[in-house]
Amino acid sequence: GFLPLQGHVVRNWKVRWFVLLQDKLLYYKIEGGKKEPSPKGRILLDGCTITCPCLEYENRPLLIKLKTKTNTDYFLECCSREERDSWALDITGAIHAGHPVQVQELHRMKNSFKLLENISLHNIVERMYDSSTGIKLTRNLDQGNRYKETFTGSSLVDWLISNSFAVSRFEAVTLASMLMDENFLRPVGVRSTEATRSSDPSEKFLDDSTALYMFAESSKKNTSSKEEVHFNISEFSGTIVKQGFLVKQGHKRKNWKVRKFVLRADPAFLHYYDPTKEDNKPVGGFSLRGCLVSALEDNGVPAGVKGNVQGNLFKIITKNDIHYYIQASSKAERVQWIEAVKPLT
């Protein structure tokens, strides 16, 4: 699948197509919507160590870090917590092939930490920002440092329970950990920052009156008018139905770029992001109300499509008659996206 990879010489991010084999992880360059025949590089897994979750980059909370036997670091970014954990599990299985006990333990850890049913993290954050009913922000002192607009771990746990997002303190801590893991919140001060280094997901967030947290920069609402606030809420407050990397044809230059797509319901919107950028702002998106979505034939190049693409195409036509041409990585993935989009049109 597609994953952004940080370069070794120039420390920028490029999206590559990754293929996991028994002893190595190959990655390929995509040109014009088609995978090049020879790999751009390879990561040898023998003697490799994996760090997941990796919190070395504040704006990229869904990283996997691989350190090879020769001490070369590779940073791979996923588009969701579920995808990250799935990749990490499979890569770890390849690294520890022949050690089934370790792999079983990883499966157990993965299945013990899941998002509660019918909970939208975006909705929780919107409620937290509410000036009258949201989390109360205060100034706090920690180890001689003053922090503005912070809240304690225990106050967030109390708030989550009182607003019926969790029924117990354990559930609230789990939910708070996920908000932090998805880069909505960040720790400040010594105690909360130290806790993020714990290998146990349930201990990364502290239900404590001396552990300080604040909203992450990427989730702050830098808006200039009430109309813009309403626009943001209407598009981004919906429940995420599906997300993943797809290849999209540009409107002007007709070139093909890998984009991270996020599909939301209630209200129904499809947004796409440039995964090589540091910010978390969409580069485009549209309402799905009144759209038409359909698969395109794999024989030949369909009308409106440029370049030597490798099939698995589908098209979305908006109610304003704007045509979006999108390429999935497989026929099965194309079917999954079409079936997810159709009910929301």
- Going from N- to C-terminal start, the domains of the chain cover 2-111, 121-220, 233-342
Least confident of 140-144, 177-181, 218-222, 246-250: 218-222
CATH code of the domain occupying 233-342: 2.30.29.30
Q: What is the dihedral of CA 4, 12, 7, 275, to 10 degrees?
A: 0
Tens-place pLDDT, residues 149-162? 899 898 899 899 88
Q: What is the residue-wise DSSP string for 20-79?
A: E-SSEEEEE-EETTEE-SS-SEEEE-TT-EEEEEE-S-TT--SEEEEE-TT--EEEEE-S
Q: Per-residue pLDDT averaged across 22-50, rounded?
A: 88
- Give the integer Cα–Cα distance in Å for 6 and 12: 6
Q: What is the pTM of this model?
A: 0.61
Query: What is the per-residue pLDDT for 17?
Result: 93
Q: 2-111 and 233-342 share one CATH topology?
A: yes
What are the tokens at 84? 């990250």
277 SS3 class? coil
Mean pLDDT (the chain) is 81
Domain 2-111 in CATH 2.30.29.30? The answer is: yes
Q: What is the CATH number of domain 121-220?
A: 1.10.10.10
235: its two tokens: 């598009």
Q: How far apart are the first and last CA of the chain?
A: 27
